[in-house]
Structure 1
Amino acid sequence: MSSQKESTARTLTVALLVCLVCSVFVAGAAVALKPTQVENRLLDKQRSILSIAGLAKPGMSGAQVKELFKSTITAKLVDLQTGKFSDAKDPMTFDPLKAAKDPKLSSVLPPEQDIASIKRMERYTTVYLVEKDGEIDTLIMPVRGYGLWSTLYGFIAVKGDLNTVVGMGFYQHAETPGLGGEVDNPKWKGQWPGKTLFDEDGKLAVQVVKGGVDPQSPKAVHQVDALAGATLTSKGVDHLLNFWLGQNGFGPFIANLRAGEA
């Protein structure tokens, strides 16, 4: 009986030691790999920004992406409450998504305003500019909102007229492959360039349309086909664009830019 107890105790001890050693290795690997993971996420975001702005080339290496981003893109901080540029934070290191979780740097959105289902709104965010001869050639704005299964994180790029779309896409989401995941399909993303966000009266008019865009409609210039079989993801994209380009998002900032008061 005593022998069985000693055998069981030794087995449990060995198992515990193995678990401890494995946990140390896993924790050590996680700590060691974290800087690489952070660097890769930053690289993916930079690649996405360049692609949406129409600047990326197929097969670019990480070094090429970094160099092109550094030489063509300017990051600037925007105060979403005032709709103006701000120097309150460093735009290169400031994390709007982290700020959205900080009560000191964000606020809770009332349900009637939260059409993108993001819950909290950060005060500051970072936009990205491509400038030529001191003027804005392309403005890239971050957007996010809930689809069917996940929050979609992406960017929309517009020309210097602050109306014509250069590109739109997402760099992170967990929508269903083959359905909502078709937001990554180049064919769908290819519908966005050339579309306009606002109508002749300056009213936000961009729209994701179920059933397909009628090319004969005067509204077609503002519209993109919804994703086939992905109604809720399509609605999510429509809602997030209307939120971020509206008065509770970048609307006041865009108005200030047009007036030369940003």
Structure 2
Amino acid sequence: MSNKNESLGKTIGVVLALCLVCSILVAGSAVALKPMQEKNAALAMQRHILNAAGILEAGMDIPSVYDERIKAHVVSLEDYQVVQDKDPKDFDNRKAAGDPETSTKLDKSEDIAGLGTMETMTEVYLVMDESGNRNGAVLHIRGQGLWGTMYGLISLEDDMSTVRGVHFYEHSETPGLGGEITNPSWVKTWEGKELYGDDGKVKFDLVKGGASGEHEVDALSGATLTSNGVDALIDFWMSDKAYGPLLDKLRKGELTNG
């Protein structure tokens, strides 16, 4: 009996030792790989922004072009001024939306995009032409689709009303149906569309049966709930409850440091 107990004890000891060594190796690998993961994530977001802005080209040096053509700012969605003590390189919109200190809970009556909470600060990406003059902006958008949250970017011309491009970079919609929000052919139909009517209210709409007006884009075939979700997130983010006052400041050239 004693030999059996000793053998069992040694086996358990070896297993625990192996578990400890594996845990140390995994933790060490995670720490060592974190800088690389963060660098890759930043590069991916730069690619998404350039894509939305219509600047991305195959084989281009993304960090270099991004630094030349994009000027990022963290902007308060409470007073619509640049937040001086926030470095855009260290800011994460998604984390801000989930942090009680940098977000606010939305009332169900106004939460048409199914967000739950809205960040009180956001990154604004000003698009610069080759002469260094501003000629547009890229903004974060998100909203509930059929199966989860759709994350994207919308690019506007310098009038802050005309759509230059849209790019949904993360979603869980059904391939071939709602997943067509990433189809280049559908995305292209957004170009040149107007967000606002003559009264200044959001007029952009996804319609069934063939879009014809300057405010209309075709809804996705067989994906009513996804189309409704895209429609709702545009209505919310471009409204006075979100980006509306910010876009007005950008039009007037009044975006200033806080």
User: Does TM, normalized by the shorter one, top 0.5?
Assistant: yes
Match of 2:235 in 1: 242
Q: What SS does the aligned partner of 2:174 have?
A: coil
Q: What SS does the aligned partner of 1:75 have?
A: strand
Alpha-carbon distance in structure 2 between the residues aligned to 1:155 and 1:238: 14
Please give the TM-score of this superposition, normalised by the length of structure 2: 0.89
Residue number among 163, 169, 172 corresponding to 2:170 in the alignment: 172
Whether 2:56 is the aligned partner of 1:56: answer yes
Alpha-carbon distance in structure 1 between the residues aligned to 2:18 and 2:120: 48
Whether 2:94 is the aligned partner of 1:90: answer no
Alpha-carbon distance in structure 2 between the residues aligned to 1:65 and 1:176: 30
Match of 2:125 in 1: 128
Q: What SS does the aligned partner of 1:178 have?
A: coil
Match of 2:188 in 1: 190
Residue number among 233, 238, 247 corresponding to 1:254 in the alignment: 247
Q: 1:178 to 1:21 in 2, by over 3 A?
A: farther
Match of 1:39 in 2: 39
Alpha-carbon distance in structure 2 between the residues aligned to 1:231 and 1:13: 58
- Contact 1:212 1:224 (C-alpha < 8 Å) held by counterparts: no
Q: What SS does the aligned partner of 2:166 have?
A: strand
C-alpha RMSD over aligned residues = 2.0
CA shift, 1:146, in A, is 1.7
- Contact 1:99 1:105 (C-alpha < 8 Å) held by counterparts: yes
Q: What SS does the aligned partner of 2:8 have?
A: helix
Match of 1:6 in 2: 6
Q: 1:238 to 1:7 in 2, by over 3 A?
A: same
CA shift, 1:202, in A, is 2.1
Deviations 1:83-113 (A, max 9, x none): 3444352333322322223323221111111
AA of the residue aligned to 2:189? Q
CA shift, 1:253, in A, is 1.2
Alpha-carbon distance in structure 2 between the residues aligned to 1:69 and 1:75: 10
Alpha-carbon distance in structure 2 between the residues aligned to 1:186 and 1:214: 17
Match of 1:100 in 2: 97
Alpha-carbon distance in structure 1 between the residues aligned to 2:171 and 2:163: 22
Residue number among 214, 221, 233 corresponding to 1:228 in the alignment: 221
AA of the residue aligned to 1:233? T
CA shift, 1:174, in A, is 2.7
Deviations 1:124-179 (A, max 9, x none): 11111123467531111111112122222211001012111110012222333333
Residue number among 116, 120, 128 corresponding to 1:119 in the alignment: 116
CA shift, 1:75, in A, is 0.9
Alpha-carbon distance in structure 2 between the residues aligned to 1:182 and 1:4: 63
CA shift, 1:74, in A, is 0.7
Q: Which runs of 5+ in 2 are unaligned?
A: none
AA of the residue aligned to 2:22? C
CA shift, 1:8, in A, is 2.9
